[in-house]
Chain A
Protein backbone atom coordinates (compact mmCIF):
# COMPACT_ATOMS: atom_id res chain seq x y z
CA UNK A 1 0.00 0.00 0.00
CA UNK A 2 1.51 3.38 -0.96
CA UNK A 3 1.82 6.08 1.66
CA UNK A 4 -1.09 8.42 0.92
CA UNK A 5 -0.18 10.85 3.69
CA UNK A 6 -3.01 13.10 4.87
CA UNK A 7 -5.02 12.35 1.75
CA UNK A 8 -5.68 8.65 2.33
CA UNK A 9 -9.35 9.02 3.13
CA UNK A 10 -9.98 11.12 0.00
CA UNK A 11 -8.08 8.87 -2.40
CA UNK A 12 -9.54 5.66 -0.99
CA UNK A 13 -13.10 7.00 -0.97
CA UNK A 14 -12.67 8.07 -4.62
CA UNK A 15 -11.55 4.54 -5.57
CA UNK A 16 -14.14 2.87 -3.33
CA UNK A 17 -17.06 4.92 -4.65
CA UNK A 18 -16.01 4.41 -8.27
CA UNK A 19 -15.57 0.66 -7.70
CA UNK A 20 -19.04 0.32 -6.18
CA UNK A 21 -20.63 2.23 -9.08
CA UNK A 22 -18.73 0.39 -11.83
CA UNK A 23 -19.22 -3.08 -10.34
CA UNK A 24 -22.89 -2.29 -9.71
CA UNK A 25 -23.34 -1.23 -13.34
CA UNK A 26 -21.67 -4.38 -14.69
CA UNK A 27 -23.62 -6.70 -12.36
CA UNK A 28 -26.94 -5.00 -13.15
CA UNK A 29 -26.24 -5.13 -16.92
CA UNK A 30 -25.29 -8.81 -16.89
CA UNK A 31 -28.12 -10.00 -14.60
CA UNK A 32 -30.75 -8.03 -16.56
CA UNK A 33 -29.36 -9.43 -19.85
CA UNK A 34 -29.63 -13.00 -18.52
CA UNK A 35 -33.13 -12.46 -17.09
CA UNK A 36 -34.48 -10.87 -20.29
CA UNK A 37 -32.93 -13.61 -22.45
CA UNK A 38 -34.61 -16.30 -20.34
CA UNK A 39 -37.94 -14.44 -20.42
CA UNK A 40 -37.77 -14.06 -24.22
CA UNK A 41 -37.05 -17.75 -24.65
CA UNK A 42 -40.13 -18.51 -22.55
CA UNK A 43 -42.32 -16.08 -24.55
CA UNK A 44 -41.00 -17.47 -27.85
CA UNK A 45 -41.77 -20.99 -26.69
CA UNK A 46 -45.34 -19.97 -25.89
CA UNK A 47 -46.13 -17.49 -28.69
CA UNK A 48 -43.20 -17.61 -31.13
Chain B
Protein backbone atom coordinates (compact mmCIF):
# COMPACT_ATOMS: atom_id res chain seq x y z
CA UNK B 1 0.00 0.00 0.00
CA UNK B 2 1.33 3.44 -0.93
CA UNK B 3 1.05 6.65 1.10
CA UNK B 4 -0.25 8.37 -2.03
CA UNK B 5 -3.47 6.32 -1.87
CA UNK B 6 -4.53 8.68 0.93
CA UNK B 7 -4.34 11.55 -1.53
CA UNK B 8 -7.69 10.25 -2.74
CA UNK B 9 -10.21 12.39 -0.79
CA UNK B 10 -12.72 9.56 -0.42
CA UNK B 11 -10.06 7.17 0.90
CA UNK B 12 -8.72 9.89 3.23
CA UNK B 13 -12.15 10.54 4.77
CA UNK B 14 -12.97 6.82 5.07
CA UNK B 15 -9.65 6.05 6.75
CA UNK B 16 -9.50 8.99 9.14
CA UNK B 17 -13.14 9.02 10.32
CA UNK B 18 -12.80 6.07 12.74
CA UNK B 19 -9.37 7.28 13.91
CA UNK B 20 -10.33 10.83 14.94
CA UNK B 21 -12.33 10.04 18.15
CA UNK B 22 -9.51 7.82 19.44
CA UNK B 23 -6.88 10.48 18.81
CA UNK B 24 -9.13 13.10 20.47
CA UNK B 25 -9.53 10.79 23.48
CA UNK B 26 -5.79 10.15 23.73
CA UNK B 27 -5.13 13.91 23.47
CA UNK B 28 -7.59 14.69 26.25
CA UNK B 29 -6.12 11.96 28.47
CA UNK B 30 -2.52 13.16 27.97
CA UNK B 31 -3.42 16.85 28.35
CA UNK B 32 -5.64 16.25 31.40
CA UNK B 33 -3.07 14.08 33.14
CA UNK B 34 -0.11 16.29 32.23
CA UNK B 35 -1.76 19.57 33.24
CA UNK B 36 -3.21 18.23 36.52
CA UNK B 37 0.16 16.65 37.38
CA UNK B 38 2.05 19.80 36.46
CA UNK B 39 -0.33 22.25 38.13
CA UNK B 40 -1.14 20.41 41.37
CA UNK B 41 1.71 17.99 42.02
CA UNK B 42 4.97 19.66 41.02
CA UNK B 43 7.02 21.96 43.28
CA UNK B 44 7.76 25.62 42.66
CA UNK B 45 11.03 26.52 40.98
CA UNK B 46 13.66 27.92 43.37
CA UNK B 47 14.01 31.09 41.27
CA UNK B 48 10.75 31.42 39.32
CA UNK B 49 8.37 30.30 42.05
CA UNK B 50 4.91 29.15 40.94
CA UNK B 51 5.27 30.74 37.48
CA UNK B 52 7.15 27.60 36.42
CA UNK B 53 3.70 25.99 36.07
CA UNK B 54 3.21 28.05 32.90
CA UNK B 55 5.87 25.88 31.23
CA UNK B 56 3.30 23.08 30.71
CA UNK B 57 1.37 25.31 28.31
CA UNK B 58 4.00 27.68 26.96
CA UNK B 59 6.56 25.19 25.67
CA UNK B 60 4.15 22.71 24.01
CA UNK B 61 2.23 25.58 22.35
CA UNK B 62 5.44 27.19 21.06
CA UNK B 63 6.71 23.82 19.86
CA UNK B 64 3.45 23.24 17.98
CA UNK B 65 3.38 26.76 16.50
CA UNK B 66 6.73 26.11 14.80
CA UNK B 67 6.13 22.48 13.84
CA UNK B 68 2.65 23.11 12.41
CA UNK B 69 4.20 25.61 10.01
CA UNK B 70 6.81 23.01 9.03
CA UNK B 71 4.03 20.47 8.46
CA UNK B 72 2.31 23.06 6.24
CA UNK B 73 5.59 23.48 4.36
CA UNK B 74 5.81 19.74 3.66
CA UNK B 75 2.19 19.47 2.51
CA UNK B 76 2.56 22.65 0.42
CA UNK B 77 5.62 21.17 -1.31
CA UNK B 78 3.66 17.96 -1.96
CA UNK B 79 0.93 20.10 -3.54
CA UNK B 80 3.40 22.00 -5.73
CA UNK B 81 5.17 18.84 -6.89
CA UNK B 82 2.39 16.25 -7.09
CA UNK B 83 -0.79 18.38 -7.24
CA UNK B 84 -2.66 16.35 -4.62
CA UNK B 85 -5.62 18.40 -3.41
CA UNK B 86 -5.81 16.72 -0.01
CA UNK B 87 -2.27 17.89 0.63
CA UNK B 88 -3.08 21.56 -0.05
CA UNK B 89 -6.30 21.26 1.99
CA UNK B 90 -4.39 19.76 4.92
CA UNK B 91 -2.08 22.80 4.92
CA UNK B 92 -5.12 25.09 4.86
CA UNK B 93 -6.76 23.11 7.67
CA UNK B 94 -3.64 23.34 9.84
CA UNK B 95 -3.29 27.14 9.68
CA UNK B 96 -6.04 28.10 12.20
CA UNK B 97 -4.62 25.55 14.65
CA UNK B 98 -1.21 27.15 14.19
CA UNK B 99 -2.72 30.60 14.81
CA UNK B 100 -4.18 29.42 18.12
CA UNK B 101 -0.94 27.72 19.18
CA UNK B 102 1.08 30.86 18.38
CA UNK B 103 -1.42 33.00 20.30
CA UNK B 104 -1.18 30.68 23.33
CA UNK B 105 2.63 30.81 23.19
CA UNK B 106 2.59 34.62 22.95
CA UNK B 107 -0.03 35.04 25.70
CA UNK B 108 1.52 32.61 28.18
CA UNK B 109 4.94 34.09 27.38
CA UNK B 110 3.67 37.59 28.16
CA UNK B 111 2.10 36.64 31.50
CA UNK B 112 5.26 34.72 32.39
CA UNK B 113 7.51 37.56 31.29
CA UNK B 114 5.83 40.25 33.38
CA UNK B 115 6.71 38.81 36.82
CA UNK B 116 10.10 37.37 35.72
CA UNK B 117 11.46 40.05 33.38
CA UNK B 118 9.37 42.99 34.56
CA UNK B 119 7.79 43.46 31.14
CA UNK B 120 4.99 41.90 29.10
CA UNK B 121 6.90 42.28 25.87
CA UNK B 122 10.41 43.01 24.61
CA UNK B 123 11.75 43.23 21.05
CA UNK B 124 13.87 40.22 21.78
CA UNK B 125 14.95 37.99 18.80
CA UNK B 126 12.86 34.99 19.93
CA UNK B 127 9.75 37.03 20.74
CA UNK B 128 9.97 39.17 17.61
CA UNK B 129 10.43 36.21 15.26
CA UNK B 130 7.44 34.54 16.95
CA UNK B 131 5.31 37.63 16.39
CA UNK B 132 6.34 37.65 12.72
CA UNK B 133 5.43 33.95 12.50
CA UNK B 134 2.00 34.83 13.93
CA UNK B 135 1.56 37.52 11.26
CA UNK B 136 2.59 35.00 8.58
CA UNK B 137 -0.09 32.61 9.87
CA UNK B 138 -2.72 35.37 9.62
CA UNK B 139 -1.52 36.33 6.13
CA UNK B 140 -1.56 32.69 5.04
CA UNK B 141 -5.16 32.17 6.23
CA UNK B 142 -6.25 35.49 4.70
CA UNK B 143 -4.68 34.61 1.33
CA UNK B 144 -6.66 31.37 1.16
CA UNK B 145 -9.94 33.26 1.60
CA UNK B 146 -8.96 36.15 -0.68
CA UNK B 147 -8.52 34.06 -3.87
CA UNK B 148 -11.56 32.49 -5.47
CA UNK B 149 -9.89 29.80 -7.58
CA UNK B 150 -8.80 27.07 -5.11
CA UNK B 151 -5.83 25.86 -7.20
CA UNK B 152 -4.43 29.38 -7.56
CA UNK B 153 -4.97 29.92 -3.83
CA UNK B 154 -3.13 26.68 -3.08
CA UNK B 155 -0.21 27.74 -5.34
CA UNK B 156 0.15 31.20 -3.84
CA UNK B 157 -0.26 30.08 -0.23
CA UNK B 158 2.36 27.38 -0.85
CA UNK B 159 4.83 30.04 -1.95
CA UNK B 160 3.95 32.16 1.10
CA UNK B 161 4.45 29.10 3.30
CA UNK B 162 7.96 28.60 1.91
CA UNK B 163 8.85 32.23 2.64
CA UNK B 164 7.39 32.02 6.16
CA UNK B 165 9.40 28.89 6.90
CA UNK B 166 12.44 31.13 7.36
CA UNK B 167 10.71 32.70 10.37
CA UNK B 168 9.48 29.35 11.69
CA UNK B 169 13.08 28.12 11.80
CA UNK B 170 14.32 31.49 13.03
CA UNK B 171 11.82 31.53 15.92
CA UNK B 172 13.18 28.14 17.03
CA UNK B 173 16.85 29.09 16.91
CA UNK B 174 16.74 32.89 17.37
CA UNK B 175 17.98 32.73 20.96
CA UNK B 176 20.96 30.61 19.83
CA UNK B 177 21.76 32.73 16.74
CA UNK B 178 21.90 36.08 18.49
CA UNK B 179 22.62 34.98 22.02
CA UNK B 180 21.10 38.17 23.37
CA UNK B 181 17.70 39.37 24.57
CA UNK B 182 15.59 38.19 27.49
CA UNK B 183 14.46 34.77 26.30
CA UNK B 184 16.70 31.90 27.28
CA UNK B 185 17.71 29.13 24.82
CA UNK B 186 15.69 25.88 24.72
CA UNK B 187 14.60 24.71 28.17
CA UNK B 188 14.17 21.07 27.22
CA UNK B 189 16.99 18.90 25.98
CA UNK B 190 17.50 15.21 25.29
CA UNK B 191 20.80 15.56 27.12
CA UNK B 192 20.03 14.64 30.76
CA UNK B 193 22.82 16.95 31.96
CA UNK B 194 21.27 20.10 30.55
CA UNK B 195 17.58 19.12 30.64
CA UNK B 196 15.28 20.41 33.38
CA UNK B 197 14.71 18.28 36.50
CA UNK B 198 12.64 15.10 35.94
CA UNK B 199 9.95 16.41 38.31
CA UNK B 200 9.10 19.08 35.69
CA UNK B 201 10.13 17.07 32.62
CA UNK B 202 7.68 14.14 32.89
CA UNK B 203 4.45 16.18 33.13
CA UNK B 204 5.81 18.50 30.42
CA UNK B 205 6.41 15.46 28.20
CA UNK B 206 2.78 14.37 28.72
CA UNK B 207 1.55 17.87 27.86
CA UNK B 208 3.66 17.93 24.68
CA UNK B 209 2.22 14.54 23.68
CA UNK B 210 -1.27 15.92 24.38
CA UNK B 211 -0.70 18.99 22.20
CA UNK B 212 0.67 16.83 19.34
CA UNK B 213 -2.30 14.44 19.55
CA UNK B 214 -4.79 17.30 19.75
CA UNK B 215 -3.23 18.80 16.63
CA UNK B 216 -3.43 15.46 14.77
CA UNK B 217 -7.11 15.03 15.69
CA UNK B 218 -7.99 18.61 14.75
CA UNK B 219 -6.05 18.66 11.49
CA UNK B 220 -7.68 15.40 10.36
CA UNK B 221 -11.15 16.71 11.25
CA UNK B 222 -10.54 20.10 9.60
CA UNK B 223 -9.04 18.50 6.47
CA UNK B 224 -12.18 16.37 6.16
CA UNK B 225 -14.22 19.57 6.41
CA UNK B 226 -12.13 21.28 3.70
CA UNK B 227 -12.57 18.22 1.44
CA UNK B 228 -16.36 18.40 1.91
CA UNK B 229 -16.44 22.15 1.24
CA UNK B 230 -14.49 21.58 -1.98
CA UNK B 231 -16.84 18.79 -3.10
CA UNK B 232 -19.87 20.92 -2.26
CA UNK B 233 -18.56 23.81 -4.37
CA UNK B 234 -17.80 21.45 -7.26
CA UNK B 235 -21.33 19.99 -7.15
CA UNK B 236 -22.97 23.43 -7.01
CA UNK B 237 -20.77 24.71 -9.88
CA UNK B 238 -21.60 21.61 -11.99
CA UNK B 239 -25.31 22.04 -11.32
CA UNK B 240 -25.12 25.72 -12.28
CA UNK B 241 -23.53 24.81 -15.65
CA UNK B 242 -26.22 22.28 -16.60
Binding site for B on A (CB under 8 A): 2-8, 10-11, 13-15, 17-18, 21-22, 24-26, 28-30, 32-33, 36-37, 39-40, 43-44, 46-48
Interface size in chain B (residues, C-beta < 8 A)? 37
Given contacts A33-B224, A36-B232, contact A18 B61 (CB under 8 A): yes
Q: Is B58 an interface residue (CB 8 A)?
A: yes
CA distance A16 to B100 in the complex (A): 14
B235:A6 contact, CB within 8 angstroms: no
Closest to A34 in B: B225
* Inter-chain pairs besides A14-B54, A17-B108, A33-B225, 7 sampled, C-beta below 8 Å: A4-B53, A14-B57, A15-B39, A17-B107, A22-B104, A33-B222, A43-B232
Name A29's contact: one of B54, B58, B112, B222 (CB within 8 Å): B222
Binding site for A on B (CB under 8 A): 35, 39-40, 44, 49-51, 53-54, 57-58, 61, 96-97, 100, 103-104, 107-108, 111-112, 114-115, 214, 218, 221-222, 224-225, 228-229, 231-232, 235-236, 238-239
Write the nearest CB–CB distance from B213 to chain A, whole angstroms.
12
A25:B39 contact, CB within 8 angstroms: no
Choose among A3, A21, A24, A46 the residue with the greatest number of B CB atoms under 10 Å from its CB: A21
A43:B57 contact, CB within 8 angstroms: no
Count of A-B contacts judged by CB separation below 8 Å: 95
A36:B54 contact, CB within 8 angstroms: no
Name A5's contact: one of B50, B107, B231, B239 (CB within 8 Å): B50
Name A's interface SS.
Answer: helix
Given contacts A6-B49, A47-B238, contact A17 B229 (CB under 8 A): no
Given the complex, which residues of B lie within 8 Å of A24, measured CB to CB? 100
Write the nearest CB–CB distance from B119 to chain A, whole angstroms.
13
Name B228's contact: one of A11, A37, A47, A48 (CB within 8 Å): A37
Given the complex, which residues of B lie within 8 Å of A11, measured CB to CB? 50-51, 53-54, 111
